Amino acid sequence: MRRNFFLKYVMFSLITALLIPSSAFAEGTEVEIPTFTEASIHDPSVIKVDDMYYVFGSHLGVAKTKDFMNWTTVAAGVNPNNPLFDNVVEELKKTLEWAETDTLWAPDVIELNGKFYMYYNACEGSSPRSAMGVAVADHIEGPYKDEGIFLKSGMWNQASEDGKIYNATIHPNAVDPHAFLDEDGKLWMVYGSYSGGIFILQMDATTGLPLEGQGYGTKLMGGNHSRMEGPYIQYVPETGYYYLYITFGGLGADGGYNMRVVRSENPDGPYVDAEGNDMTTVRGADGTFFDDKAIEPYGVKLMGNYLFENMTSNSTVSTGIGYVSPGHNSVFYDEETGRQLLLFHSRFPQRGEQHEIRVHQLFMNDDGWPVVVPYRYAGEELAKISSEGVSGDYQFINHGKEITEKIKKSVMITLLADGTITGEVNGTWTVEGDNKANLVINDYSYQGFFLKQWDPISKSDVMTFTAVSEQGMTIWGSQLEEMSDEDAVTYVKNTLKLGNTMAVITDVSLPTVSTFDTEISWKSSDSSIVSEQGAVKRPYSEQDTTITLTATISKNETMATKSFKLVVLPAEEAKVEGEGYAEVEAVDQTTNLVVWIGLVLLSLGLVTIFVIRRKRNNYRRGIYVK
């Protein structure tokens, strides 16, 4: 029996060793592989209690963790069985009735005077008819007792909280609260979503209620239904600034949700972005709904849709690692260590509306702006790094400033040992001090950090960088492990594409170099029609012509081939010569212009109807419904 057990143990150990990636044993040290346990909480707001960290989110969802990596769900759902209240449906009946809904939106919990104050809220969904109140408990997990509603919105044709008739273009939607203490111990609450913008109220730290006579409070930004929501303010003593985090766009997978930050020397503003723009003036144009173009140039964009593609030779294993519509964040600031963590929910590529909590570490750059690291938190620390450890091939993402549903996919760049950057972007890089990153890319200067992080694709610790420009754009880089010649050639073969080759009418772009120092040569089955350089000469015929282009990918002595079929359309119009050709061309252009104008005029009525219907639907799909 002992002998059999020993043999089984040896076999198990061998199999386990084979399954661990070779990178885990780099430099003779075994890398600890982090583990994660997920939870699905929308709009997570963080609070620390003893050695536990809680997040409270929409629909009365709560989860907790001790390490920001492994989460346990505590509560979920607005129903009588939710343990946070004895019976939340009865306890908050007036709130739900006012908002004409059966659920709650993003709450916030703060500890005051030894008790826990939950700022709850509910919204109708297709309009900003909302109510906000506070409930109090002796313990973080409840039960909470309602202290009543203190703020309402959406009272059409009635006096609002400031005594004027409610106007959704200038008055706030009473949702998405965050309560915080300033450096002097005064209590504030920032709130708002779309509608008239983001507002802040000074609160009574004894009762947890707003001080009298403020109406809706002070406006910080937004208005005219511009898509801004989920405000969160964090004071950082090291910089002396209050940082207002905000999410732009719509929360759905197609909404372009993205996180931004602005700052102020005072809790109630004014807040400015990296270019010094006063955010109180940032709003949609008058008479518009969801005017993203008007607001997207403003704020420091921390993160939007992105995808680090799988750059391993086996490119069919996974599409990569990325997020879709990450947002509605909170921030945990550790007063003892100064560590900051960004907590938010995110959707994911090819996973629809499914969402989970994600946590990324934040650092402050030399300009006093937060930079977010590329990969989720796995216990990483800033450490002294060398320039030699930085140089190499990287996946690169520039989050830009757009509000878009498109996923920004990583591109290849190389940080050369001489301090230059080549590849899809060009520039320079330096390491200052222990780990500070200074990069100049396409004439924009970025400041941030180099640090090693756990890469879930390669399953190893890799060098990364994160930096923010003076224009408020965030860039990320993730270093690629050095590939063997065979793996490099295989990867390029698997990813080499020419686009749509089924109706070729113009020259084809044929790359001759690719990633990982590979070279590509081309062979055409008929170079008189498509040359090895991609020049296309369409034949005079009545039939399409099929051509085969064969790529030979090589690196040193390793080679592989990949063939592409091209269908070249005939140049029938070239048969018409002289004035006759010009006549035909002119007639065709005139006919096309008439048809085009007719279609535009016909569609105007349809577009008007579509826009009206779309606006109504958008409120329910991505504007207010959480």
Residue that is last in its domain, among 444, 479, 514: 479
SS3 state at 11? helix
Q: Write out the DSSP string of 433-459.
A: TTTEEEEEETTEEEEEEEEEEEETTTT
**Predicted local confidence at residue 546, as pLDDT:** 96
pLDDT given for residue 25 in this prediction: 40
Q: Hey, what are 84's tokens?
A: 């946070």
Predicted local distance difference test score (pLDDT) of residue 311: 78
pLDDT for the residue numbered 27: 42
For 28, other C-beta atoms within 10 Å of its C-beta total: 5
103 lies in some domain: yes
Closest CA to 472 of 312, 279, 210: 279
Span 336-354, average pLDDT: 97
| E strand segments, 433-529 | 436-441, 444-455, 460-469, 474-479, 513-514, 518-524
- What predicted TM-score, i.e. pTM, was given to this entire model? 0.82
Mean pLDDT across the stretch 459-470? Answer: 97
Query: Is 513 a domain residue?
Result: yes
Asked if the structure places residue 276 within a domain, the reply is no
User: For the domain that residue 97 is a member of, what is the CATH number?
Assistant: 2.115.10.20
Assigned domain for 311 exists: no
Nearest to 568 by CA among 532, 600, 541: 541
Structural domain ending residue among the three candidates 145, 168, 191 = 168
Q: Are residues 449 and 505 in the same domain?
A: no
What's the CA dihedral at 254, 256, 257, 259 to 10 degrees? Answer: 160
b or e along 492-531 (b: 16 or more beta carbons within 10 Å of the residue's beta carbon)? bbbebebeebeebeeebebeeebbbebbbebebeeeebbb
Give the sheet arrangement for strand 356-364, strand by strand: 370-372, 356-364, 340-347, 320-333, 306-309, 408-409
Contact 305, 351 (CB under 8 A): no
- Cβ(399)–Cβ(306) under 8 Å? yes
Task: Give CA torsion, residues 333, 334, 340, 345, to 10 deg.
Answer: -60
Instruction: Based on the fold, state whether residues 417 and 529 are members of the same structural domain.
Output: no
The region of weakest confidence among 31-40, 136-145, 482-491, 594-603 is 594-603
Same-domain status, 125 and 151: yes
Backbone angles phi, psi at 470, to 5 degrees: -65, -15
- 442 with 448: CB under 8 angstroms? no
Tell me how far CA of residue 52 lies from CA of 72, 139, 222, 338, in angstroms: 11, 13, 35, 18
Lowest mean pLDDT among 215-224, 352-361, 506-515: 506-515
Sheet with 513-514, side-by-side order of all strands: 513-514, 518-524, 545-555, 558-568
Residue 526: CATH number of its domain: 2.60.40
Comparing 251 with 7, the larger pLDDT belongs to 251
288-297, 436-445, 570-579: segment of lowest average pLDDT: 570-579
- Band (pLDDT 50/70/90 cuts) for residue 313 is low
What span, in angstroms and rounded, lies between the C-alpha atoms of 46 and 146?
A: 21
Angle value at C-alpha 24, between 18 and 26, nearest 5 degrees:
115
Is 605 a residue whose pLDDT tops 50?
Answer: no
Same domain, 452 and 525: no
Q: What is the dihedral of CA 250, 252, 253, 259, to 10 degrees?
A: 40
Q: Are 58 and 136 part of one and the same domain? A: yes
Query: What is the number of domains present in the chain?
Result: 3
What's residue 493's pLDDT? 92
In this structure, the answer to whether residues 509 and 423 fall within a common structural domain is: no
Structure confidence by residue, pLDDT tens digits, 207-224? 999 999 999 999 999 999
* CA pair distance 446, 450, nearest whole angstrom: 12
Cβ atoms < 10 Å from Cβ of 32: 11
The three-point CA angle 30-33-36 to 5° equals: 170
In which band, very low, low, confident or very high, does the pLDDT at 5 lie, cut at 50, 70 and 90?
very low
Quote the pLDDT of residue 261.
99
Q: Check residues 103 and 14 and name the one with the higher pLDDT.
A: 103
Q: Are residues 498 and 467 in the same domain?
A: no
Q: Given 526, 541, 568, which residue is the final one in a domain?
A: 568
The confidence score (pLDDT) of residue 226 equals 98
- Listed range (32-36, 485-489, 590-594) with the worst mean pLDDT: 590-594
Provide the annotated active-site residues.
43, 229
pLDDT score for 608: 38
Token pair recorded at residue 435: 């780990």
Which ranges of 86-198 would DSSP assign to H, the alpha helix?
88-91, 93-99
How many whole angstroms separate alpha carbon 469 and alpha carbon 365? 10
CA dist., res. 450 & res. 95, Å (int): 48
For the cut 90, the answer to whether the pLDDT of residue 240 exceeds it is yes
| Residue-level pLDDT at 488 | 86
Contact at 8 Å (CB) between 474 and 300? yes
pLDDT band (50, 70, 90) for residue 290: very high
Q: How confident is the model at residue 234 (pLDDT cuts 50, 70, 90)?
A: very high
> 512 and 561, same structural domain?
yes
Same domain, yes or no, for 447 and 466?
yes
Distances (CA, A) of 31 to 10, 68, 376, 455, 545: 22, 20, 17, 12, 56
> Two tokens at 113?
């005077």
Strand pairing partners for 465?
450, 477
Same domain, 55 and 150: yes
Flag whether 229 is in a domain. no
Q: Are residues 427 and 539 in the same domain?
A: no
pLDDT digits (tens, 9 = 90+) for 73-126: 999 999 999 999 999 999 999 999 999 999 999 999 999 999 999 999 999 999
Distance CA 273, CA 282 (A): 11
Residues 502, 446, single domain; the answer is no
CATH of residue 432: 2.40.128.10
Count of CB atoms situated within 10 Å of the CB of 257: 31
Look at residue 81 and tell me if it is in a domain. yes
Q: Give the chain's largest Cα–Cα span.
A: 98
Residue 370 lies inside a defined structural domain of this protein:
no
Pairing outcome for strands 130-137 and 513-514: unpaired
Residue 28: inside a domain: no
Cα–Cα distance, 465 to 47 (Å, whole number):
29
Residue percentage of the chain with pLDDT more than 70: 85
Distances in whole angstroms, Cα of residue 474 to Cα of each of 259, 451, 468: 11, 16, 4
Give residue 513's pLDDT. 84
Average pLDDT of the chain? 89
- Range(s) of the domain holding residue 464: 387-479
